[in-house]
């Protein structure tokens, strides 16, 4: 792992472009480490039901529970892991979840790619470390 606890990652939206982000381990170290250990991985992403509030990557198979820093209110650009549904979520708008989630990082560049008209449910999304 990184000495600083901040690990740069790249989120490739196939056919759209790349989003840059950081995994920040001190938010939720067990969830962050489990995701980092799975990288690189590709999952089919989709928007939240209804409004386009977040981009979700279901089926991570992490099953890491809540920690002492779990939160319900999240901000635009946050990357969270929802242990209740086992999905990685990238927030496009600030919102509040009904259950506590583990914040694991923050988008640093190109969050607007999630708002493009050509992005559709089922789009291949690859997460990998930046070298």
Query: What local confidence, expressed as pLDDT, does residue 118 receive?
Result: 82
What average pLDDT does range 16-40 have in this prediction? 94
Residue span of the structural domain in which 58 resides: 6-129
pLDDT at 3 over 70: no
Number of domains in the chain: 1
The three state secondary structure string of 92-128 is CCCEEEEEEEEEEEEEEECHHHHHCCCCCCCEEEEEE
49 belongs to a structural domain:
yes
What average pLDDT does range 17-26 have in this prediction? 96
Q: How far apart are CA 79 and CA 54, in angstroms?
A: 10
Which residue reads 């980092």 in tokens? Answer: 36
- The band of 131, judged by pLDDT with boundaries at 50, 70 and 90, is confident
What average pLDDT does range 2-23 have in this prediction? 91
Q: Evaluate the omega torsion of the peptide bond into residue 40 and state whether it is cis, within 30 degrees of 0.
A: yes
1 belongs to a structural domain:
no
More confident residue, 37 or 3: 37
107 belongs to a structural domain:
yes
Nearest CA to 62 among 44, 24, 91, 36?
A: 36
């Amino acid at each position: 792992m990184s000495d600083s606890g901040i690990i740069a990652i790249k989120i490739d939206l196939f056919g759209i472009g790349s989003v840059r982000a950081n995994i920040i381990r001190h938010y939720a170290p067990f969830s962050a480490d489990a995701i980092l250990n799975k990288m690189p991985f590709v999952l089919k992403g989709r928007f939240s039901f209804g409004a386009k509030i977040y981009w979700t990557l279901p089926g991570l198979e992490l099953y890491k529970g809540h920690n002492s820093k779990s939160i319900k209110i999240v901000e635009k650009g946050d990357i969270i892991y929802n242990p209740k549904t086992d999905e990685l979520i990238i927030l496009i708008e600030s919102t509040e979840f009904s259950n506590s989630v583990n914040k694991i990082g923050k988008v640093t560049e190109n969050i607007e790619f999630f708002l493009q008209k050509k992005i559709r449910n089922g789009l291949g999304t690859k997460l990998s470390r930046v070298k």
